[in-house]
Structures are given as structure tokens and as C-alpha cells.
Structure 1
């Protein structure tokens, strides 16, 4: 989302905010009698002042104009009812849920889990396992039986029986019959947390004690461990293939032939970076000799490319040509890097932890704190009545709610000012039948469900009231809410309008044609080789108006690529304009640049002229959008009544300048 582009400096930061909440706030201005206060203005200004590059926006009066314009747009969005849009509501809800994690987590527990996850991610473990199934909520007798069975199998393994044979014979993991329990290599966050912990805490060649997970009991045998392969820096040469493979077979065959020609030149000793600069069709990396930013496994959208890159072992080693979904590549190893540092992976690890079994440790820590924070007083008489209504049919999911729920509608307990009635708990009990709980007798099961229900109600209440407890949280949510509205408003009133208003766009283009000019352009065919004699031969053919394909056919052989060609139209002063190109028809002299010899043929001169609207449509649309936005605030000031309290503003300016 492009919110940071829209807010005119009102950037959003998800960090601890240190604002003076105790300052007395006054009404700074009103829009249609809705007040906006001094504390919000000073807070937003101070938070974003270092991010503002335009010095004029640091001036308080100038910033005030921007701030009023910003609030005018928010009022317009609300007037149009954009705050009722389902997409907006869902996105705001999602953002609040994400931000609330910073306030509903035990930072000490989270930090310890992050450090543990990082340390484990430094290694990859190869392990085998034997699984004895037992339900997570099984009866104690069934749990003990499964545990003892697992212990018996472990004794056999420790006594010398082959672990693989035992896995095939006893493991209740269906895949064990084929893989003999071997799970291959894995790192942190790939297995359920208790299993992962057992794997990382068991020495190579040893077998763990029984490990309980939601699936049952496991025996884990560690076969091997190795270092994580970290990150890699490579350069590459890419020749694009057509996305329409079915209709452009010739184009794709030509791309394959081109990469093979380049590979042949590499084997002949020609420089990788020079070839990448000349022929690679990755326009971002070609000027840098094909150099790409470093990356780790899973960061690229091409598995073939990653495998080729990580498969290289020696610096400056390059791969054979290979195909990805984008085209043909040759990859050269520049450097290998160890796994990222902890501080670089902290956010990524935090997100993984929250989706993992270990998140229960964080949840349990918060629950413990909330149990101390909120004094829960239960109506024991009503609770006893509820327990009496639950029968053993619960275990078979046949238990039904009492016919008259009004008899249970009294207040069961309170979390601060929020009251939870007995009927709500009964409804929760009914849904818990799906969990297949086995706790007996039924009274103990009700107690177990009740405690979880209370814990959940406390957590929900705490989360729902974060804005009251943490002013900084309320501020960030308010800013994000406004940002989403502003984005939707800009899309509706500016961006879409600029794209769809064909008449307005054309009129704007006609009024500003001088902004959209082609410089002089030239059509050039360039032939290059490491051999001067070959380029001299190419020059003779160019003088005879021979095509690029004719030159390559006559000067290259089946086994040796002597010459490469490139034909393009270049604009005067363009960065990629070949050297020695003059804006005059004809063939240049042979010249040398680095390790290569070149010759150019200029076939056409295109004089400077206006770009057509189609040739520069993207830029015209951007400029037209800015034009519309620049005039928009003036129109909003006519639509809404703005009243600035100048006396309060002058007092605020004097205070903020101290």
C-alpha cells in the first residue's frame, strides 16, 4: 500500500512512542464544528519532523496548512461513507490485530523464544522417528499405555535393534513404511515445537526419551546435523524468453541459442562482467556486470535459480546455462555469506513464533498476568446449576443445551465492567464437544472448560481496551485508520479519475506538450568481439548493409562464437548509448573498449520531437494526478467550513519553538 506516499509526511511508526500526554490540550481548529486539538498537532509534527525532506514543511505555519488539508481529506472520506467499506473495515481490523501483539505479549518470554529459534536455525538436523498415536486429550490410562509402549520400543533400540526396522514394525506414522522413519533434514519451525526441541537436544546417533506432541509419543533419533547454508551473492546473465511459449517457439529457441553463444564465449576466456553488461536482458543488474543483491534460500521466485546459485562452491565459478520461468541464465558465484545475524532476523522469527506451538508459552504468560490484574468473582450458585445440566452425553457430542436458557441467564462473572452471563458459558460448552475432550468425571471437564473460558474472556477484554490502557496504541490506530481512508479517497478522487478521465488527460497533455520531448534518436547495430580481425570483417559486411543474422552466420562457426551483435534505438545522451556513436548515417571505425573491439552502423537518424500521448502516457498520468491533487484542497476548503484558532496556534508555536 502506498500510504507513505499520500500522508504528506504523516508517516506511521510501529514503535514505542514517547509523547507528553500530560500537556493541556486546546482546540486548534475546527472543520464543520468538529474540533482538532493542539496535542495531536504537536505529537504528529514532532514524530515526523525528521522524515520531512522539504524544509518548507518544517515551518509550523506551512505544516499547519498541510495538517488542515490532511484532515479535510479525512472529512471528505467520511462524508462519502468510505469508512463503511467492508475491505477498509477488514484491513483496519487486521492491522489492529497485528499491532496488538506488541501489547499482549510477554517480552521476556518472546525474547527467549526468538533467541532459541535463531540458535536452532543455525543448524539443520536430519532425524528419524517412531510415532505411537495417542489423542491430545486422551484418558490417563490410554496416555500411560502409549507411553509405556514407546518406552518398550526405545529399550529395544538402545539394546541394539535397528531403528529403521523398529520404525517399519511399530511406528504409526503412515509414511514410516516407505521412509523407515527418516524425516530428512529440517531446521527450526519445520516441526511441531516439542518434536523440534527433542531433535535439537539429542546428540547425533542417540535416541530421545518419549516426546509428547498433539499426535502422540515420539522417539527421535538424530542421524546428522549440518550448518545452515546462509546467503549467497551471485552475478548472472539472463536472456528473456517470451511469456507466450506456444506462439513464440522461434523467439524462445533464439533466446536459448543466444545464451549458448555467451556460454561458449565464457569458455573461450571472455570476461563475465563485460558479457553481462553487453548482453544480459536484466536491465537492473546488467550495468553492474550482472551483480545481484545477496539472498537466502526461499527469497527468490525461482527455485531453479537458487539451486544453481547455491550449487556453486568456488568464487568466480559459473554454471552451465539453465532455464527458469523467466528465461535462460548463467550464474557466477561472487561470495557466500553466513546466516543472518539475530537482529536481522528478529521480526521474521517473532512472526514464526506466533504461528507455532511455542506461542502457547507467551499466551500462558499473559494469562498469568491477567489473572492477577483482574479479580474474577463467580456466582457459585449459578455455576453449580450449570454443572448439573451437563451430562455424560457430552463425550459423544450428544449433549444439548437446556431448553430454557433464561434460567441460566444471570451474571456468571465479571471482567471489570464487562458482564458474562451463564447462557454464554453454556453455549461455549456446547461448542467444546467438537474438541473430543476425555477428562472425567464430567464435573472436572466443566471446570477445565470454564477456566479456559474465563482466561479467554480476560484476554478479549484486555485486547478490546488497549486504546484506553495505552494512549500510544490509540494514536497509532487512529493514524492508520486515517491513512486507510485517505488511500481509498485518493484512489477514488485522484488516481482512478486521472486514468479514466481521457478527455481531461488529453487536455492536460496538450497544455504541457513541451514537458514530454524525445531528444534526437538513432538506430544502431553494434558488432563486438575480442578479436580485432573479426570486427574488421564485420565492418565490411555492415558497409554492405548486411543484417545481424547474416554477420553471425558468416563469422561464427558451430563451435566458436567469434562475434555478437546488438541492434537498438538509442536516445541522445542515454546512459546505454554505445561509444563512438555519432548521429550520422554510416559505419564507424573499429574501436576498442576494455577487452572488446566494436564497430557501429547507424542506419537511421530520428530528429527530436514531441512524444505522443501513448509514448509517455505513464508519466502524463502521474503529472495529471499531481495536478488534480494540488487543486483539490482548495475545493475542499469551499466544501467544508474551516475555522483556525489563531490565538491558540500562536501560543502553540511559541511553546514548540522553545
Structure 2
């Protein structure tokens, strides 16, 4: 009945309600604007790839984040690619010379073994789609332009769980640091030969503060997660309990003990993991683009390239200097009414596009204008297609419709209750005062006092404060004189009506009307002093101002009961007895 009343008052047509609904629709629609069939296909692709590990090396030519011109970077990678594919250069040597990946260039670009869902999707595709011994064509990621060489492919080794003893090498000590570390490694090996338990050796020698408390045990890991030398040694152990020879990495020397090995889990047990990963990496864009193209096709999407070029050329003519420098004003494009595309039988014009671009950029249009214009046009198409599909989701997705209905009803009811009860209770001063007068006996102070409570940081500040009080210094001046930058919390003063039931820091018997208590020391070394203007031994009425919060709350309850009764009278409920009886059998 409340929803019906909200609709009768046309609350659902309010601009603020419509805006809230649009925002919520866009927010929850994201999960529906994807092609589930494509997602499932990508999940299966990822799982199938997890059965294989690929040993890759790569060369990357970085493209700075601030650069709009990628031509030079592409020309460099293309030149490298052609030289390598013609056999005129060695991949590792070229990687050491030109690659911008500082982590791998010194190793000839060697990344090690990788498996699915570990790298950027484009990189993974290149690794899995390129035969062993071959080099991929150049491809782009957010890091720059890459080429990949596949060195080996093998069946997945699964995951290992190991414990380690880490003997750290102190690099600041140079060769001496390495020598000292080797001596400690020798001691570890000697203890192992004596039969000392691995746990005891970890406790005695390991420098890994993260795993030492857990007997050196590390979380399980697969390929591509650890230093290559460490990984090779760990996966080289055959049986639980086997211990490796010392392995040197940039961290120091490691002695590794195998705890367990696990193979790839079945698809069904990894489905939740695969869903999360696929929806949060580059694959998600593949599914969204598939859905996007399907919606365009279903709605007869057609572009008019000449009209697109015309309006973007006009936008590109906006001056870079002067009074209107880089200013995009949609009003100056209103006469451009040619369609840029048709969707669902509707023409979207050049002016529509510029109006969208104006809103999105706040009228600021700078940079390489043609390129920016083309990017804005793509965003306009995406936004338009998504908007159409978002508004159709209620027809095609029952769950989406239920969520939207629930949210709409909720915000309408909130607005209705605010109008009829909550807002009215605080704004209706006449009604509020009348309610207070009728229920005055409900609002009383417990026995207590009116006055001031002084809190001093320590004995020194207490003495200063009480001296000022004896001189009848005002509270404001006491605070001003005592609270300096060097001692900001020397004194704190609270004024008001205090109830003994809630204030027990000073004995009630010590508080007298028109008198000041002796300072009382607290456990933390601070002091408290009470200056009482008047003491009340019996409950006393609260003024309207003192009781305002309680009065508003109870007035709201009163108004809500009255309003609910009015709603029940306006919208009587009729129970269909026959139907009801069939439900409760």
C-alpha cells in the first residue's frame, strides 16, 4: 500500500529518483552486459592451457604512458622482428641490447616457464599460439610492443609445497658476505648429515622472517611464481621429505625440503576461480566485445563514415590558442544533423555525438584532436549500445528486473516516509511543540547538577587552573591561557546539565550548589574539579530544547502510527479466504 501511495504521489517521476535509478541500473548492468557463452569458452580455454607450461623469452619496446605516438616504438619492434625472423640476429643477444624489460633483459629476455592466467592475456596468447623455436609477430600490451620466442612446452607440473632454510647474503659486505653465508650453509649441511631435524635447522639458521615461525613452510606455488633457480630445485625434488642441495638466488642460499606435490585439479573444482580470473583480466574485454557486437547486429547497427569524418574534422578545427582555445561547445554543432550511425531504427546525429563529447570532457578538447575525436566517437557508440541494452535487461533478465524493482520501491518508500514522517517531525515546529507540551512529564532530568566540569592534564596544570578559577577567570580565558601549542590539552571544560546516574567521577556527596569541589586525582594522573551552580536531588523537567532529540523521535513514532492507520483506511486489505486456506493446509 505504501508503494501504491508513492506512485499516486508521482514520487517515481522525481528527477532525483530517476537519477538514482539510472545510476543503480548502470552499476548492476555491468554484470549482465557480457556474453556468457564466450565467458564459458574462455574459462575452458584457460583450463586447457593450465595443462601445459610454456618456456618463453621476450623483447619489449616500451611505450610511455604519456605518449600518444606509438609509431616509433612499433617501427623499432618491427625492425627487430624482421632481423630475427631472417636469421640475422640472436634473440638473447638482441634482448640484452634493446629490450626495455629490466627484469629479463640481462637473461636474454628469458621469462622462464609460464602457464595460463599468469600474464597479460595478449602475452599468454602469443606464448601458447607460437610453436616451439618460433617467434611471435609483434603485439601490443599496456607495457608496449612485444615479441615472444617459445623455447619449450611441457606438461604442467602442478604445484609444490616446500619448506626452506634461507641463508641471507649481505650484499653490502661483498665477497666477504658471500663467504660468511657459505660457511653457514656448510653448517646447515653438516647438521642435516647428523640427522638434526629440518624444523630445528630452520629455527637455528633461517633468515626468512616470514616463514621461520612456520618451520620454513611456504605457500604452495606453481611455475612462474618464484626465482627460476629456486623453482627448478623445488620441482626437481621427487618425494616428500627430500632436501635439495644449496641453491643460490639474489636473496642468498636456499636449502629446500619437499612437503607435497599436487596435480591440476578437475575443472569443476576450479570453476569459481576460473570465473573470477576470466572476469578480471583481458579476457573479460573479449566477452564484452562479443556481447557488444551481438547487440549491434541484433539492432541493425549501421555507420555513416563520411558523416563521422565530417564532424570529427570540424572538431579538429577547434583552435589551440586564443579566447576559445580547446573549447568544445555542443551548441555550435547543433546544425550538424546528419546521422553518424543508426541503431534500433533510431538515427544518432553528429550533434548527438558532440553533445555526448561535450558532457564527457566538460567542454575541454585538447591533444591530437582527430585521434581524440575518434576515441570519443567509439565511447559514444559503446555508451549508446549499452544504454539501450541496459533498459531492455528488465525484459530479458528476471533477476535484473527483481533487483531494479526492489531498489525502486526502496528509494520511493524512503522519500515517502521522509515526506510523511521523518522530515515532517523535524520541520513541523508547531506540531512538535504541541506534542512536547502534551507529553512533558516524559522528559525529565535525573537528579544531578548544572555547572562545569574541569579536567586538567596533570598536577602542574591543575594548580594553574585552580588558581585561575579562584581569580574568577572566565572559562574561555582559562582555556586560552592554559592550552598552548606546547601543551594543547592542558585543560578541558565541559558545561551543562549532568545527571548523577551518568556522572560518577566525583562522589555525589562532594558536589554542592554554588561551590567547587576539591581536585580529585584520576588513575592516569589527570585531575577533575566540579563547579556546581545548582544541584537537583529530584527529577526536574527538561526544556523543549534539552529534550528535542527525544521529542522528535517519539513524535516520529506518533506520526508513523497515525500515517499507517490512514494508509490502512485508504487501502483496505481484503483476504481471499479460499486461497488463504489452501496456502496454510
TM-score, scaled to structure 2: 0.45
Larger radius of gyration: 2
Q: Give the structure, 1 or 2, with the largest relative contact order (CA under 8 Å, sep 6 or more).
A: 1
TM-score, scaled to structure 1: 0.41
